[in-house]
Structure 1
Amino acid sequence: MIGIWILGDQLWLKQAALASCSQHENLPVILIESQQHIQARPYHQQKLVLIWSAMRHFAEELRQHKYSVTYKIAADFQTPLQAWIQANKITELRVMMPNDRPFTKVIQSLELPCQITLIANNHFLWSTSEFHNYAQGRKRLLMEDFYRQGRRRCQILMEKDQPVGGQWNLDKENRQPPKGKLNTPPAKWFAADAITLDVIDKVKSLSFPTYGEIEPFHWGVTRKQALQVLDWFIQQRLPHFGPYQDAMVTGEETMWHALLSPYLNIGLLHPLEVIQAAEQAYQEKQLPLNSVEGFIRQVLGWREYMHGIYHYVDANYSEKNWFNHTQKLPEFFWTGKTEMNCLHQILTQVQRTGYAHHIQRLMVLSNFALISGLSPQEVENWFHAAFIDAYDWVMQTNVIGMGLFADGGVLASKPYAASANYINKMSDYCKSCVYSHKERLGENACPFNFFYWNFLDQHRDKLQTQGRMSFILKNLDKMSDEELNSIRKQAQDWHINL
């Protein structure tokens, strides 16, 4: 007898383990809420609600499709699996290959009285073996090259072998700073139903540390709701998504962003249907190409690239620390209590929602962590705990590689380091801050400024090897030894005073 174990980020009727069985009526299926598993770090309470509520809703959907569903709430995975296998006389347990390496080890460590078969994961457009074949022998593994190959491979926004509009990448049109009243459309949120309210009560009662605010909880928890969010994005947000996708505005938590990553990452949506919906809207409604291409690049390019790189690099990637940064993560990352307004705005937003958009993550949170010398491992652990769409495969590459350049340039062509000037240009945060974005020394100096110049000075030798950094590094030569020494001291004192 075959049995299927469905993990909490594999909630799709066409997922590979279910699809591997020709008959599904009365097929034994099990889903497990393990309290031990969620104690690895203090996860955001809304993430726990999202996963457990989506799992419970998916169990009901499976029952409607005549699967024989067992749903267990347990301390661990081993005990309920063992009992279920024996009760159903299971001889082969099939599991779709986990996205996260650590969970593959969890499965391999189980002692079960039956064969365990891992079925190749089908939640991505590129399988791990296909990406490996693509990557082998290449001198560089740039996302742009991979993205173009993905466009050709899937025939997305293509005219024969050429990109629609004549250009592969329209990013230059998508970096406008916020100006005037933006008139952003509201996000598509949902009221919690009875199942979700039960889960909220359960998460509130947990006896171990968690993070963030649990209510109001507005995320979707079913495939039907995820499809509504996709349709809402296509209709209301995609037409104007492009120009301001890098902008940050106080009180505008979601702007024109899609809010689809939590649903994609647990299987309620498949990347191809998301990409095709955007392409179809472009064709039928003549939407601006820069908006459509910019969004498709995030899913077809960046998301697939992150997943592929994660499974391509060595298992010790998570320990990379190219700059040898060892400063402890400041407590304000957990509390949001800091006088730096940009960090305060974003960190309190994450506390409330579990969400921040990609520039808030990259150019404020990760940027600060990079230039202030925070431990990459502590930063990655915080990202993994704090964000509603966070998983090992997402955060290792995005934080260790992209955000902190701790891999020495495996996937980014230069460190994404910037002073307060960038934040002032792309947001309104600096207007309401006690620090001056123009000053790099003294009591009123924005920490982003003295940390930025200290970072360039401290790592000049290493950064010199990154071709795109040489022009910026020449600015250090214009500073006097006295000013550089003052910058070094102010950066050092900041950590001591903290």
Structure 2
Amino acid sequence: MRLVLVLGDQLSADLSALRKADKETDVVVMAEVADEASYVPHHPKKIAFTLAAMRKFAASLRKDGWQVAYTKLDDPENCGTITGELIRRAAEHDAAGVIHTEPGEWRLITALGDMPLKTHCLPDDRFIACHQEFDDWANGRKALRMEYFYRDMRRKTGLLMDGGSPEGGKWNYDHDNRKPAPDDVEYGGPMRFAPDDTVEQVLDLVQARFGDNFGTLRPFWFATDSAQAQQHLAHWIKGGLPRFGDFQDAMLNDNRFLYHAVVGLYVNAGLLDPLAVCRAVEQAYRDGAAPLNAVEGFIRQIIGWREYVRGIYFREGPDYVTRNALGHSRDLPAMFWGADTAMNCIAKSVAQTGSEAYAHHIQRLMVTGNFALLAGVDPAQVHEWYLAVYADAYEWVEAPNVIGMSQFADGGIIASKPYISSGNYIHKMSDYCGNCAYRVQDKTGDKACPFNLLYWHFLDRHRDRFAGNPRMGNMYRVWDRMDEDRRKTIRQEADDWLRRLNKGEAV
């Protein structure tokens, strides 16, 4: 007999390792281990979601006839690591070896490869593009731009295709998806599930073990099995999808979800199949229940961006998370862990993250990510923060989004220019600035929005790298047209503000 490893983000009934295994003779191994729960200080909701979903998935496997060797976190025989549990179970069952589906982190791939057990690693074919397919697409290209990869994925899947042409005549409807924050939101947000006995037991365990981690554990409302995740998906398709495209970049003080799907944690853990999700969303368009801009924008995030960043992560290798092309070294500010700040956009985004283990892509990219990049924060610390605090974060998806897209630490593999902006973008796309102690319209002075000062400070200190970038030339021409006294004031005020940040002052 063999052991069949199922990890906490592989909770799919059609997992390649399960398909390869023999239900009559093989033993499924699942383990809640301290090593996985603490390699970064995970949000308590993220830990609770993973453990509860694992326990329910194990129960479903047993019901389906599998023999499951399951180790709970508080089991006194728990070895504390995935490899330790496999070695223990192999001795217990006199197993000939281990079958497993490829993990989504180099850390675990290396650990499993170094085990003193015979292992057979199978590809994770829940993704549309295998590693070789992505590499074949990438080889020989001067720039690995997602848009062209996305078009290939549309052709491969047939999603939103009209024969050989894109539905509606265009591949991308992003220009329709950048409306500022609406006055009212007609969707009540994600479906919420009352914790059952299994979830309550996990919540008590997580509170006892990880109650001091950043983030609040209760109230806990996530779906924790595939049936609940499917209910949530149907709820969002009916109520949120029709307006999702219009307002996907918008942010509001008093509405944390707007029209967003909040399915990333379910897809990434295996409770929802990504292609099936996209087909359900496409069907809403075919049925006249959702407009093309909303449906295309969502599908692009799944079969385009999600597949693309996974390809980048595995193509670039284990050292990708250590890259720091801009040489940034400032420590992550305490405000990212909930310390006081006068910057309302940061305060709101961090508070939401602490409460929900969730923030949407613009809050991550253009608020917290934009700030970290402009302020010169060490990208490794930024990476670990995002990996820790969001329920949908696994390294294969999180690292390229942060190291590449958000922090430009990979030197431009993903982004052709840094994603930076002054306070004006946040003002345009949100109502954050109206409640802020700083004034977004002030470019200098005591009340000047820090984004305004840091934007020019970033461009000035990285001029040698970016002045020749064709997408950034206009920014430098604006800077050069300022008189020298104004440029000197901006540099000095930005330096003073950063010195206060370094001292740990509430800024």
Superimposed CA distance per residue, residues 158-184 of structure 1 (whole angstroms, 9 cap, x where no aligned partner): 111100100000000000002322323
Q: Structure 1: which amino acid aligns with 2:139?
A: Q
Structure 1 length as normaliser, TM-score? 0.97
Tell me, in whole angstroms, the C-alpha distance in 2 between the residues paired with 1:180 and 1:269. Answer: 32
Question: Is 1:190 the counterpart of 2:190 in the alignment?
Answer: no
Distance 1:467 1:208 in 2: 49
**Mean alpha-carbon deviation: is it higher for 345-354 or for 65-74?**
65-74
CA distance in 2, matches of 1:123, 1:494: 47
Residue 477 (1) aligns with residue 476 (2): no
| Cα separation, 2, equivalents of 1:497 and 1:159 | 57
Three-state SS of the structure 2 residue aligned to 1:205 is helix
1:136 correspondence with 2:139:
yes
Matched residue count: 495
Letter in 1 for 2:111: V
Q: 1:467 aligns to what SS in structure 2?
A: coil
Corresponding residue for 1:375? 378
- Deviation track 1:133-161 (CA, whole Å, cap 9, x = no partner) reads 22112222100000111101111111111
1:428-439 → structure 2 map (5 Å cutoff): 428-439=431-442
For residues 293-332 of structure 1, the C-alpha deviation after alignment (integer angstroms, 9 at most, x for no partner) is 0111110111011111111114322122122111111011
The whole-number CA distance in structure 2 between the counterparts of 1:465 and 1:387 is: 36
**What's the counterpart of residue 60 of structure 1?**
59
Match of 2:96 among 91, 98, 102: 91
- 2:109 is aligned with 1:104: yes
Q: Is the contact made by 1:131 and 1:308 (CA closer than 8 Å) also made in structure 2?
A: yes
Helix, strand or coil: the match of 1:285?
coil
Q: Offset at 1:336? A: 4.7
Distance 1:412 1:468 in 2: 11
CA RMSD in angstroms comes to 1.4
Pairing of 1:233-248 with structure 2 (within 5 A)? 233-248=236-251
TM-superposed deviation, 1:209: 5.3
- Distance verdict in 2 for CA 1:240–1:466, change over 3 Å: same
Aligned partner letter, 2:99 = R
Native 8 Å contact 2:203 2:217 kept in 1? yes
Report if aligned partners of 2:187, 2:239 keep a CA contact under 8 Å in 1: no
Q: State the TM-score, normalized to the length of structure 2.
A: 0.95
> Quick one: distance in 2 between partners of 1:346 and 1:264?
23
1:76: how far off? 2.4
Match of 2:75 in 1: none
1:76 to 65, 81, 85: 81
- Residue 505 of structure 2 corresponds to none
State the match for 2:35 in structure 1. 36
Match of 1:293 in 2: 296
2:161 counterpart of 1:158? yes
**Secondary structure of the equivalent of 1:145?**
helix
Aligned positions of 1:86-485 closer than 5 A? 86-112=91-117, 115-206=118-209, 210-485=213-488
Distance (Å, rounded) in 2 between the aligned partners of 1:378 and 1:282: 41
Task: Give the 3-state SS of the residue equivalent to 1:349 in structure 2.
Answer: helix
CA shift digits 1:160-214 (9 cap, x unpaired): 1100100000000000002322323332111111111111111111169522111
8 Å Cα contact 1:336-1:343 kept in structure 2: no
Please tell me whether the aligned partners of residues 426 and 433 of structure 2 are also in contact (alpha carbons under 8 angstroms).
yes
Comparing 126-135 and 416-425, the one that deviates more: 126-135
Provide the rounded CA distance (Å) in 2 between the counterparts of 1:480 and 1:380.
Answer: 37
- Structure 1 segments, 4+ long, off by >3 Å, are none
Unaligned runs of 5+ in 1: none
Which deviations, in whole Å up to 9, do the C-alpha atoms of 1:351-404 show, x marking residues without a partner? 001000001101111001111111111111111111111111112100010001
- Distance in 2 (CA, whole Å) between partners of 1:389 and 1:202 is 21
Mind listing any 5+ residue stretches in structure 2 that lack a counterpart? 73-77, 502-507
**Inter-partner Cα distance in structure 2 for 1:194 and 1:31:** 20
Query: 2:209 is paired with a residue of what secondary structure?
Result: coil
SS in 1 for 2:269: coil
Partner of 1:465: helix, strand, or coil? coil
The letter for the 1-side match of 2:395 is: D
SS of match in other structure, 1:117: strand
Following superposition, the deviation at residue 286 of structure 1 comes to 4.9
Query: What amino acid sits opposite 1:58 in the alignment?
Result: F
| Comparing 392-401 and 284-293, the one that deviates more | 284-293
CA deviations 1:38-77 (Å, max 9, x no partner) are 2212110000000000000000000000000111132223
Greater displacement, 253-262 / 336-345: 336-345
Distance 2:107 2:451 in 1: 35
**Residues in 2 aligned to 1:404 and 1:440: alpha-carbon distance in whole angstroms:** 24
CA contact 1:124–1:270 (8 Å) conserved in 2: no
C-alpha distance in structure 2 between counterparts of 1:379 and 1:6, whole Å:
29
What is the one-letter code of the residue matched to 2:436? C
Give the whole-Å Cα distance in 2 for the aligned partners of 1:207 and 1:175: 39
CA distance in 2, matches of 1:316, 1:84: 32
Query: In the TM superposition, what whole-angstrom CA distance separates every residue of 1:254-291 from its partner, at most 9, and x where no partner exists?
Result: 11111000011111111110111111111122521001
Q: Is the 8 A contact 2:83 2:112 kept in 1?
A: no
**Does the 8 Å CA contact 1:354/1:388 hold for their aligned counterparts?**
yes
Shift of 1:86: 2.1
Aligned to 1:14: 14
- Write the letter of the residue equivalent to 1:86: A
